[in-house]
Amino acid sequence: MTAAFHALHSLISSPTHTLRTRNIHSETVFSLSPSNNITESFRRFGISPATTSLLIIKIVDEALEKSPTTTTSTTILTAESISQHLQNNVEGTQVQFCQEEIDRLTDIARVRKYYKLPVGLEAKGKKEVEVAVLGAMALRGI
């Protein structure tokens, strides 16, 4: 959620409403990274042939979707239409988005490596790891 918020904030706060990447979704992936290297962000947090777990975020601009002058799409996006599209186009088993599933699917060793966290930090608790990751994400923008 922090990455999506950061991506939206980047778009809104920019005087020209531009992003460093092509769209709000790629900006969200970029926002996950503690690095300013876009290519590295996608290599670490993007989809690859080896991907086994996937969290999909769809950010919809309701004002644009409902605009009568919108020429890019005549379909109003809804949670149901997005879910149906994903079920038709993504191979795999959908699971509920909850803390238990996030904990089960998180590769803590990879998180520690990507965010350069000290060994043993996860022993202090999940909250300390979350704070360290959020700090790394926030410091990238400074």
Please write down the HEC assignment for all residues of 4-65: HHHHHHHHHHCCCCCCCCCCHHHHHHHHCCCCCCHHHHHHHHCCCCCCCCCCCCCCCCHHHH
Rounded Cα distance between 67 and 75, Å, is: 11
pLDDT in tens, 66-98: 544 445 555 678 888 988 999 999 988 989 999
- Residue ranges covered by each domain of the chain: 56-94
In one letter, which amino acid is 100? E
What's the confidence (pLDDT) of residue 84? 92
Global confidence as pTM: 0.77
Residue 29: count of CB within 10 angstroms of its CB: 19
Q: In the chain, which stretches have pLDDT less than 70?
A: 62-75, 141-142
DSSP assignment letter at 93: -
What's the confidence (pLDDT) of residue 137? 86
